[in-house]
Structure 1
Amino acid sequence: MQIPLFSRSSSPSTLTLVLFSLALIGLVFFAVSPNNSGILTCSRPTPSSSNVTFLETSVAASTPETPSPSTVKPEFRLLLGVVTVPQMYERRHMLRNIFSLQTYDRTVAQIDIRYVFCNLTDEEHKVFIALEILRYDDIIILNCKENMNDGKTYAFLSSLPAFYGDQPYDFVMKADDDSYIILDKLVESLRDKPREDMYYGLQIPCDSENFFPFPPFMEGMGYVLSWDLIQWISTADMPRTDNIGLEDMWTGRWFNMAGKAKNRFDMAPRFYDYKGKDMKTNCFRHEFIPDSILVHRLKKNYQWADTLKYFNFTSGLMPSKLYHIH
């Protein structure tokens, strides 16, 4: 049988005592609560005021949290500059997809990708490129007239200390927009490379025959320079006064004449041109190989599709009733 807290027969003094006791209990809880809002909360004693060892405290001490990749300083930082032209919207859209879907060890490398133009002169380009910047913030516009071999690469490389001198990169890669770059292979390949006086790419000439006036140099499909070489390019008289010519050949010529870039790494056969069905094999153009880092001269969409298919790039596509891709 439930017994009421008080009944009609309870005396006034008894009722008063009960109400006073309830009020006193409420006052005590309010006084000890750390919450000034008046909500009753129960404060946990700290280890200094208690002999109790809380389970979560001991677990945290024995198994500290693993830092997330974003909080770990990478072994090196790479700026990847894709030299392109404003009207290549479709190509940039595809490249952004390709780069964003790749994985690599971000505790080893931080890779920042930028698309590089000269000054915009077309009114449509000004609007559309502004949209890209608002959406992706990954574009560099140089103070030059759009060109291929009339100083654009010099303008790009020489401007970088002014852009990033407060947080310099370890490496800078200049790449063409028709190059497929496999980021995890690139990261592993660069991991053990020196951070100074370093020049990395497909060295030309790559066999005994030489048809070039200023050998050797790294082919323009994609080459990597250490930051000290970038600083030298930005301050030396030679690059500033002599930069009109085949951009990759001239870059190598600067280093050859100045005695720079002593640490050179020829990445043949892992850097190469797309061969296709009708081209002859040579030292810079051959069939796909599994250990590729960079495949160049992907001018047409079917060449990109052929390349991505070989490397099984879309293997992560999950089945769905919304589409049927065979």
Structure 2
Amino acid sequence: MGILTVADRYEARDRLRLLHALQPPVPAQIDARFVLCNVTGDEHRILVALEIMLYHDIIVLNCSENMNSGKTYAYFSALPELLSGEQEAPTTSPSGGSRGRTCTGATSIPPARRTPLHEGMGYVLSWDLVRWIASTNVTRNNTAGPEDALVGEWLRAGGRGKNVYSTQGARLNYDDTKPVMYDFPYPPWSFVPNTIAVHRLKDRKKWATTLRYFNATRGLKPSKFYHLLN
């Protein structure tokens, strides 16, 4: 799982690490990495280096930091070499502002439809598509543009991505069995139990509201050392 972000978003990375560590075990092995371009500024070089030493979950690409000017291509084109010798598996790219429920997401994709997938706020690509992105001129000659739209352009231009499974939610107040992902809901919309990801969590209050709905602190045991947390 590659999460495209920038060097100074330390709090966001720590929050995602915390949530990932506290989720229930899943039947799949989830390897999450934060993806940066070249780190500039002495303070970031030191602090990011410390993160790498402790967590081993950061990839630093050889590119100038950007969001829509080639970082997506730099990431996917580097993966075959970075992961050479590793077991091939679907590669995901969720938004850094999304809360993904790994315990649900890892089991929500029908086994017969695990290749290839695409979604704007988070998407999964099969490994053959990653190798294709790294080797074709279709992508090499078209590297600028919004990440999600750009990946869609590549797949259409190359005649790829024909086996698609969408989890885009309609943000309606109903309970369904289909896994869905959607933007942070404002009234009259609300969260639904079958959620696998919530997008646009831009501040702590939205994070707290989302985590409260999904009962993220249910494992907190009573103690005389802390009060008023429940």
After TM superposition, the score normalised by the length of structure 2 is 0.91
Equivalent in 182, 199, 204 of residue 117 of structure 2: 199
RMSD between aligned alpha carbons?
Answer: 1.4
Alignment correspondent of 1:136? 55
Cα offset for 1:190?
2.5
Amino acid at match of 2:193: P
Structure 2 gaps, min length 5: 170-179
- What is the 5 A alignment of 1:103-252? 103-106=24-27, 109-190=28-109, 192-196=111-115, 198-200=116-118, 218-219=119-120, 221-252=121-152
Is 1:263 equivalent to 2:187 in the alignment? no
- What is the 5 A alignment of 1:70-81? 80-81=1-2
Distance, in Å, in 1 between the alignment partners of 2:109 and 2:88 is 13
Could you tell me whether the CA contact under 8 Å between 2:90 and 2:125 is conserved in 1? yes
Paired residues, what number? 219
Amino acid at match of 1:224: V
In structure 2, the CA distance between the partners of 1:272 and 1:195, relative to structure 1 (3 Å rule), is closer
Distance, in Å, in 1 between the alignment partners of 2:142 and 2:39 is 24
Cα offset for 1:85?
0.7
Amino acid at match of 1:271: M
Question: Secondary structure of the equivalent of 2:156?
Answer: helix
Q: Percent same amino acid at aligned positions?
A: 42
Question: Secondary structure of the equivalent of 2:32?
Answer: strand
In structure 2, the CA distance between the partners of 1:127 and 1:314, relative to structure 1 (3 Å rule), is same
Amino acid at match of 1:259: G
Alignment correspondent of 1:297? 200
Question: Secondary structure of the equivalent of 2:225?
Answer: coil
Is 1:85 equivalent to 2:6 in the alignment? yes
Cα offset for 1:195?
4.8
Distance, in Å, in 2 between the alignment partners of 1:195 and 1:179 is 21
Q: Give a deviation string over 1:149-180, Cα, whole Å, max 9, x none.
A: 11111111111001002114310000111100
Question: Secondary structure of the equivalent of 1:111?
Answer: coil
Alignment correspondent of 2:183? 273
Structure 1 gaps, min length 5: 1-79, 201-217
Alignment correspondent of 1:96? 17
Which structure has the bigger radius of gyration?
1
